[in-house]
Chain A
Amino acid sequence: MIEFKNVNKYYGDYHALKNINLSFKKGEVAVVIGPSGSGKSTMLRCINGLEDINDGTLMVNNIDLHANDTNLNSIRKNVGMVFQHFNLYPHMSVIENVTLAPIKVLKQDPEKARQTAEKLLKKVNMLDRKDHYPSQLSGGQQQRVAIARGLAMNPSVLLFDEPTSALDPETIDDVLDVMKKLAREGMTMIVVTHEMGFAREVGDRIIFMAEGQVIEDRDAVEFYENPHDPRAKQFLGKIIHHA
């Protein structure tokens, strides 16, 4: 459903993505790892058109993202994104955060949108906080609301960019539990994270990136137990040491 073919991306002169070839299937959970600056976020942001690619082709749900006549908004309706810093709307309550796009973008009936939102908030264990404002919630709680907000559009894939790296250690597991639940329900997920526990438990594959390239792309457990590339070995050693 998502396919990168020889994709290159530049920021000015800087070559951020080098000849990327990747494909993601429906129902798959892919974990993306790699050192800082390796292009993980850039790759992810290309999928929902937050960044434009310079050459190659990138197909999402059979639509060519780079084509001139492509309406990015129609793609983004089907591609949810969860950010490192949650990016909840601070001037809206939890329930308003979740229902805004379904009501305004999908033109759902507000009552129906509210019911769906409550179901999703229940799923992420945030229903009891539905009338709170983001500033009244912990980071982990905000991130779970952000996941519900992404799910409310009923996307075909959910992208996560380091969803737990801005969180206090004690709230990380609540977020990971929600993500594991989604993975087991068959949600298609592409997750940039260094949480190796998550990767091994529900990840179908691990994509290791370095210097704008995909270095390894293999089964999660296999990769974990036997990384081939020396950079991957070294990197894995580092993050496991930290955990």
Chain B
Amino acid sequence: MIELLSTYGGMLLRGFVNTLIASVIALFFSMIIGTLVGILQVSKNKFAKGLANAYVQLFLNIPLLVIVLFFYVVFPMYVANINGYTAGIIGLTIYTSAFIAETVRAGIQGVPAGQMEAGLSTGFTYWETMRYIILPQAIKIVIPPLGNQFINLVKNSSVFAMVAGLDLMYYGDLIASETFNTFGTYTMVALFYLVITLPLTHFMQYAERRLAAKD
């Protein structure tokens, strides 16, 4: 194990940093897209609603690997050349955003209908009611399942390895095939994933407690 680290530690660290950066970027954009799509899913505009539902149904039901391969193989043939890392981030963002949209939709629908009526009857518009009354309550409902989505996102980033994505898993595979020390290598890889996911889990639990403390 020590020997493995002294020779391949730099590689593993590079993979770890790449996975971390990819996760942060994908998390950021999938939150934005997912929240918007989730809000559109409950909107009264039939067209927007239909589009949002189609987006969610499509990406919820396709394997992540297929989406990533699409961007790695098909996208460069017609649009622009992108590397495995970028293809991975785009695929992961789109895939995760569909799950986040579902979570956000369920959160909004979890707020009692009377809240929207109360907001409207005091002269707020639909969107103002969303902003001041519905979304602040939906956040509390959404935080625990959202935490699960974040954890899944980090773990799912391991498919980057299939498209030469330079992530933790990719370097892990590389090292394992060079050294034949599969046990040691994959143990190290697993530990590195835990370095990201465990603090994330704790942070989400903390956020949940903080929000629950009010009211």
Which residues of A come within 8 Å of B, CB atoms? 48, 50, 72-74, 76-77, 79-81, 83, 85, 87-91, 100-101, 104-106, 133-135, 149-150, 153
Q: Decide: B215 and A135 in contact? CB cutoff 8 A.
A: yes
Q: Decide: B115 and A76 in contact? CB cutoff 8 A.
A: no
CB distance from B7 to the nearest CB of A (A): 54
Complex: A100 Cα to B112 Cα, angstroms: 19
Determine, out of B41-49, B61-69, B82-90, B132-140, the stretch whose residues face the partner at the interface. B132-140
Give the residue name and chain of the B residue nearest to A74 (CB). Answer: B123
Knowing A83-B117, A104-B128 touch, does A91 contact B123 (C-beta < 8 A)? no
Q: Decide: B136 and A153 in contact? CB cutoff 8 A.
A: no
Complex: A72 Cα to B125 Cα, angstroms: 9
B6 within 8 A of A: no
Number of A-B contacts (CB under 8 A): 65
Q: Decide: A83 and B114 in contact? CB cutoff 8 A.
A: yes
- Chain B residues with Cβ below 8 Å from A48 are 120-121
Q: Decide: A134 and B215 in contact? CB cutoff 8 A.
A: yes
Give the residue name and chain of the B residue nearest to A84 (CB). Answer: B114
Complex: A105 Cα to B156 Cα, angstroms: 44
Knowing A50-B117, A90-B137 touch, does A133 contact B215 (C-beta < 8 A)? yes
CB distance from A2 to the nearest CB of B (A): 15
Give the residue name and chain of the A residue nearest to B124 (CB). Answer: A105
B190 within 8 A of A: no
Q: Decide: A101 and B114 in contact? CB cutoff 8 A.
A: no
Q: Decide: B128 and A81 in contact? CB cutoff 8 A.
A: no
Q: Decide: A83 and B118 in contact? CB cutoff 8 A.
A: yes
Q: Which chain B residues numbered 32 to 51 have a C-beta less than 8 Å away from chain A?
A: none
Which residues of B come within 8 Å of A, CB atoms? 112, 114-115, 117-118, 120-125, 128, 132-133, 136-137, 140, 214-215
- Chain B residues with Cβ below 8 Å from A105 are 122-124, 128
Knowing A83-B114, A85-B114, A87-B114 touch, does A101 contact B215 (C-beta < 8 A)? no
CB distance from B126 to the nearest CB of A (A): 9
Give the residue name and chain of the B residue nearest to A76 (CB). Answer: B123
**Given A76-B121, A83-B114, 17 more pairs with CB closer than 8 A:** A48-B120, A48-B121, A72-B120, A73-B125, A74-B123, A79-B121, A80-B121, A87-B115, A88-B118, A90-B137, A91-B215, A100-B132, A101-B122, A104-B124, A105-B122, A150-B122, A153-B122
- Chain B residues with Cβ below 8 Å from A81 are 117-118, 121
The one of B123, B137, B140, B214 in contact with A101, judged by C-beta atoms closer than 8 angstroms, is B123
CB distance from A114 to the nearest CB of B (A): 16
Complex: A87 Cα to B114 Cα, angstroms: 6
- Chain A residues with Cβ below 8 Å from B140 are 91
CB distance from B44 to the nearest CB of A (A): 12
The one of B117, B120, B123 in contact with A153, judged by C-beta atoms closer than 8 angstroms, is B123
Q: Decide: B121 and A104 in contact? CB cutoff 8 A.
A: no
Complex: A83 Cα to B137 Cα, angstroms: 19
- Chain B residues with Cβ below 8 Å from A91 are 136-137, 140, 214-215
Complex: A171 Cα to B140 Cα, angstroms: 31
Give the residue name and chain of the B residue nearest to A72 (CB). Answer: B120
Complex: A81 Cα to B124 Cα, angstroms: 13
Q: Decide: B118 and A76 in contact? CB cutoff 8 A.
A: no
- Chain A residues with Cβ below 8 Å from B115 are 87, 89
- Chain B residues with Cβ below 8 Å from A90 are 137, 215
The one of B118, B120, B125 in contact with A89, judged by C-beta atoms closer than 8 angstroms, is B118
Complex: A169 Cα to B132 Cα, angstroms: 33
Give the residue name and chain of the A residue nearest to B140 (CB). Answer: A91
- Chain A residues with Cβ below 8 Å from B133 are 89
- Sort A-B residue pairs by CB-CB distance and give the 7 closest, nearest first: A77-B123, A101-B122, A87-B118, A87-B114, A81-B121, A105-B123, A133-B215
- Chain A residues with Cβ below 8 Å from B214 are 91, 133
Q: Decide: A101 and B124 in contact? CB cutoff 8 A.
A: yes
Give the residue name and chain of the A residue nearest to B117 (CB). Answer: A50
- Of A73, A85, A88, A135, most B-chain CB atoms within 10 Å: A73
- Chain B residues with Cβ below 8 Å from A50 are 117, 120-121
CB distance from B154 to the nearest CB of A (A): 30
